[in-house]
A and B are shown apart, each in its own frame.
Chain A
Amino acid sequence: MKRTLENIEDQFETFQILNEDGKIINEDAMPDLSDDELKELMHRMVYTRILDQRSIALNRQGRLGFYAPTAGQEASQLGTQYALEKEDFILPAYRDVPQIIWHGLPLYQAFLFSRGHYHGNQFPEGVNALSPQIIIGAQYVQTAGVALGMKKRGQKSVAITYTGDGGTSQGDFYEGMNFAGAYKAPAIFVVQNNHFAISVPVEKQTAAKTLAQKAVAAGIEGIQVDGMDVLAVYAATKDARERAVNGEGPTLIETLTYRYGPHTMAGDDPTRYRTEDLDSEWEKKDPLVRFRKFLENKGLWSEDEENKVIDKAKDEIKAAIKKADEYPKQKVTDLMENMYEELPAHLQEQMEEYKAKESK
């Protein structure tokens, strides 16, 4: 009798390029990025950290609606997105707003999404993405469909999707990987393992030692990556993308990461389920700190440079929130107009009733 679990789990080592001190420990795996591209990655991480801080503040002031904090997960989110091409299609979960912003979604629309305004989800032409998914895991099966469609059309592009460690427990997670695997569809499945599904630690989520190994049963490639190391995340995604467009099928990427903030801004209190020790253990792995060190050592980054990004981010956020404020408020009749291609008679009747209410 030959049992396999132990042999499989041992094969999933964490892929890392840049260690916590900002030193390259895996030179061979170093991605081919120019100095300008490296700086652009840092620029995006700093910008996104500021966006997170401002979004939290705006939420507390009642100027934003639903918001799921992103600090800590910048390398996982932006490293994957940076490896994409414009024609690739993103299926985000609700924490994955930064990826679609860097894929082209105007900031003011991201704010309108947060406020539950439909215009936040009216993506401009050429922004290949869905609006953030609320139901855990639903986007995984949809990704198999988008990827299969790309394959049928002969496109050299990929569909990429995101969920968290909790999402891997949903049936949709397995179904999505299995379908994409069966069709050898060009899909990339990212699990941002931030170790807590709201309050439930990943150890209670599954008996599996890694989430990456869940790829094995679907017969697709799986890799576990240091999700605080933007270079490793980028390299793993780039590799998955190349294989996908070459017809070699989908990949599951597990990034080990951490969300510093609460699950969402709607009353979650992480002190009920996480210790300060654990928080500070992860803060030491911070993706910005280590990448900053790396760039500074190469003479590519300075405090001055960082301050410029921070100022730019603050200015743009201010302008975007102003634009969101100026956008006409959503009305019940707007909801009605977006229900069907043609308004059915009963809704036509209700439309008149609510137009009258709204003009009062």
Chain B
Amino acid sequence: MAQMTMIQAITDALRIELKNDENVLVFGEDVGQNGGVFRATEGLQDQFGEDRVFDTPLAESGIGGLAFGLAMQGFRPVPEIQFFGFVYEAMDAISGQIARIRYRSGGTQNAPITIRSPFGGGVHTPELHADSLEGLMAQQPGLKVVIPSTPYDAKGLLLASIRDNDPVVFLEHMKLYRSFRAEVPEEEYTIELGKADVKREGSDVTLVAYGAMVHSCLKAAEELEKDGIQAEVIDLRTVMPIDFETVLKSVEKTNRVVVVQEAQRQAGMASHIIAEIQEKAILHLEAPVLRVAAPDTVYAFTQAEEVWLPNYNDIIERVNQVINF
């Protein structure tokens, strides 16, 4: 076991798969000599050469189209979108093309592409650098959307994503990149996509989250424990598809749920999760399922960021509401 940050775990996964599979190609803006603006690809060009790890011209739609074309040639591309707010430039490549090729070809062609990208707020980036757009991605049939919350998960989920034969959008929360270290096996392992992880067991309320909000839930759970409330924290790990089996099992146990997302409230993942819970488990519920989400404005880059972002106090407030309903 080694102690790794999430960014190190990601680099480690990329290194392993570049070594395992000669069809894996890593490319994007500044990923070569510079090692990526967050250093996720640090040292990979030196180790594997410019044929396998390379800089692209500056064009996100170009990166998406290039990945698609390389996939048609049997490669397994792992492109990076430098900041996920830039994905709008690549939306046709991703949603209009990559996500649809399996269907469009009647199952004869596929695009085993893993699009990696930093996202999420709290690190004082400028406009269009911190937006949580996982809901937008989850709304594109044909894509899988993976969001790790720990170094261990990041490595196993990234290896599983690269090996998956469907396109995956792999979102890396910027605040988690270097915020803590944790034990990560040096050998390779995968974590099945579409399987949630119970990060903390509890009997009184279920907290459903993913990404950085998993940690806010864990902090809230610690505080709630002081008041005798046992919160179960479910880390979805994959928001498309979602492991509702694990969620519903927990709901049947706790009968109370709060769904937490960093993204804006409108039309987000939480709405979808809550709809599914009430369709399948309404008779198990003792209280309405509540949401913690950001307000419906553009991301509050730089100023008012800390107030805008949901935090553990917001979670505690909602938990108390469902407990005291």
The chain A residues found within 8 Å of chain B, CB to CB, are: 65-66, 94, 115-117, 134-136, 166-167, 169-171, 197-200, 204-206, 266-268, 272-273, 329-332, 334-336, 338-339, 346-347, 350, 353-354, 357-358
List residues of B (121-146) whose CB comes within 8 Å of A's CBs: 124-129
Alpha-carbon gap, A266 to B83, bound state (A): 13
A137 to chain B, nearest CB (A): 8
Given A65-B302, A358-B307: A332 and B57 interface contact (C-beta under 8 Å): no
Q: How many A-B residue pairs have CB under 8 A?
A: 119
Q: Which of A94, A116, A198 contacts B37 (CB 8 A)?
A: A198
The answer to whether A169 and B57 touch across the interface, beta carbons within 8 angstroms, is yes
Alpha-carbon gap, A111 to B62, bound state (A): 34
Given A116-B126, A336-B295: A357 and B37 interface contact (C-beta under 8 Å): no
The answer to whether B128 and A135 touch across the interface, beta carbons within 8 angstroms, is yes
Say whether B286 faces chain A, with CB atoms less than 8 Å apart: no
Alpha-carbon gap, A268 to B38, bound state (A): 9
Task: Name which residue of chain B comes closest to A173, CB basis.
Answer: B59
The answer to whether A357 and B57 touch across the interface, beta carbons within 8 angstroms, is no
Q: Which of B29, B126, B297 contacts A134 (CB 8 A)?
A: B126
15 contacts between A and B (CB under 8 A): A115-B303, A134-B85, A134-B128, A135-B89, A169-B58, A170-B59, A171-B62, A199-B33, A200-B55, A200-B57, A200-B58, A272-B34, A330-B300, A331-B304, A347-B296
Alpha-carbon gap, A115 to B89, bound state (A): 25
Alpha-carbon gap, A332 to B299, bound state (A): 10
Say whether B68 faces chain A, with CB atoms less than 8 Å apart: no
The answer to whether A199 and B297 touch across the interface, beta carbons within 8 angstroms, is no
Residues in B whose Cβ lies below 8 Å from that of A331? 304, 307
The answer to whether A329 and B57 touch across the interface, beta carbons within 8 angstroms, is no
Alpha-carbon gap, A136 to B125, bound state (A): 16
The chain B residues found within 8 Å of chain A, CB to CB, are: 29-30, 32-35, 37, 55, 57-59, 61-62, 85-86, 88-89, 124-129, 265-266, 295-298, 300-304, 307-308
Q: Which of B32, B37, B124 contacts A65 (CB 8 A)?
A: B124
- Which among A167, A199, A204, A353 has the highest number of chain B CB atoms within 10 Å? A199
The answer to whether A116 and B301 touch across the interface, beta carbons within 8 angstroms, is yes
Task: Name which residue of chain A comes closest to B314, CB basis.
Answer: A357
The answer to whether A205 and B124 touch across the interface, beta carbons within 8 angstroms, is no
B35 to chain A, nearest CB (A): 8
The answer to whether A170 and B34 touch across the interface, beta carbons within 8 angstroms, is no
Residues in A whose Cβ lies below 8 Å from that of B302? 65-66, 115-117
The answer to whether B266 and A206 touch across the interface, beta carbons within 8 angstroms, is no
The answer to whether A332 and B58 touch across the interface, beta carbons within 8 angstroms, is no
Q: Which of A66, A205, A266, A350 contacts B58 (CB 8 A)?
A: A205
Task: Name which residue of chain A comes closest to B34, CB basis.
Answer: A199
Residues in A whose Cβ lies below 8 Å from that of B307? 331-332, 354, 357-358
At the interface, is chain B mostly helix, strand, loop or mixed? Answer: loop
Task: Name which residue of chain B comes closest to A138, CB basis.
Answer: B89
B239 to chain A, nearest CB (A): 23
Residues in B whose Cβ lies below 8 Å from that of A332? 295, 297, 300, 304, 307-308
Q: Kindly list 5 other residue pairs between chains A and B, CB separation below 8 angstroms, not including A330-B304, A335-B300.
A: A166-B29, A198-B34, A272-B34, A335-B298, A339-B297
Give the 7 A-B CB pairs with smallest separation, nearest first: A116-B302, A199-B34, A166-B58, A169-B57, A330-B303, A335-B297, A66-B126
- Which among B88, B127, B266, B301 has the highest number of chain A CB atoms within 10 Å? B127
The answer to whether B37 and A268 touch across the interface, beta carbons within 8 angstroms, is yes
B80 to chain A, nearest CB (A): 13
Alpha-carbon gap, A189 to B129, bound state (A): 26
Q: Which of B61, B89, B295 contacts A350 (CB 8 A)?
A: B295
Q: Which of A199, A268, A346, A357 contacts B296 (CB 8 A)?
A: A346
Q: Which of B30, B88, B298 contacts A199 (CB 8 A)?
A: B30
- Which among A171, A200, A267, A334 has the highest number of chain B CB atoms within 10 Å? A200
Residues in A whose Cβ lies below 8 Å from that of B37? 198, 267-268
Residues in B whose Cβ lies below 8 Å from that of A170? 58-59, 61-62, 89
- Which among A268, A334, A335, A338 has the highest number of chain B CB atoms within 10 Å? A335
The answer to whether B296 and A198 touch across the interface, beta carbons within 8 angstroms, is no
Residues in B whose Cβ lies below 8 Å from that of A339? 296-298
A54 to chain B, nearest CB (A): 19
Task: Name which residue of chain B comes closest to A64, CB basis.
Answer: B302
Residues in A whose Cβ lies below 8 Å from that of B127? 116, 134
Alpha-carbon gap, A330 to B57, bound state (A): 36
A16 to chain B, nearest CB (A): 27
A214 to chain B, nearest CB (A): 12
The answer to whether A167 and B58 touch across the interface, beta carbons within 8 angstroms, is yes
Given A65-B126, A115-B303, A272-B34: A169 and B62 interface contact (C-beta under 8 Å): yes
Residues in A whose Cβ lies below 8 Å from that of B265? 346, 350
The answer to whether B57 and A205 touch across the interface, beta carbons within 8 angstroms, is yes
B271 to chain A, nearest CB (A): 12
A101 to chain B, nearest CB (A): 18
The answer to whether B57 and A206 touch across the interface, beta carbons within 8 angstroms, is yes
Alpha-carbon gap, A170 to B302, bound state (A): 27
Alpha-carbon gap, A353 to B292, bound state (A): 13
Alpha-carbon gap, A65 to B30, bound state (A): 23
Alpha-carbon gap, A266 to B300, bound state (A): 18
The answer to whether B304 and A136 touch across the interface, beta carbons within 8 angstroms, is no
Alpha-carbon gap, A158 to B228, bound state (A): 68
Residues in B whose Cβ lies below 8 Å from that of A347? 295-297
Alpha-carbon gap, A198 to B34, bound state (A): 9
Alpha-carbon gap, A332 to B300, bound state (A): 7
Residues in B whose Cβ lies below 8 Å from that of A268? 37
Residues in A whose Cβ lies below 8 Å from that of B85? 134-135
A233 to chain B, nearest CB (A): 23
Alpha-carbon gap, A10 to B307, bound state (A): 57
Q: Which of A197, A272, A354 contacts B29 (CB 8 A)?
A: A197
